[in-house]
Amino acid sequence: VPYLDDSHSIQAGKPAVDLIQNYQLLSGHEMESHTNLVFSRVFDTTDPDDLPIEYKWTHFIWATSNCENLNGE
């Protein structure tokens, strides 16, 4: 089952999961070779752990794993 966490990091290493999950997972499909996620989030959440999405180049960072969760299970 695909899932998504709203997380943040200010250094290399495991990101911290935000206390406030400012997104809505609209759909997710797990295939043999890839996973597709469709999500929605407001441009400026006013959450101190989020950066606003501005009308300019925006970089998204994501991570992948063969594990089912961030605990390595």
Residue 58 structural domain: 1-73
Mean pLDDT of all residues in 30-44 = 90
Is this model's pTM higher than 0.85 or not?
no
**CA 43: distance to chain centroid?**
14
CA distance 49 to 63: 18
Query: What total number of domains does the chain contain?
Result: 1
Nearest to 5 by CA among 73, 69, 72: 69
- In this prediction, what percent of the chain has a pLDDT beyond 70? 88
Asked if pLDDT for residue 67 goes beyond 80, the answer is: no
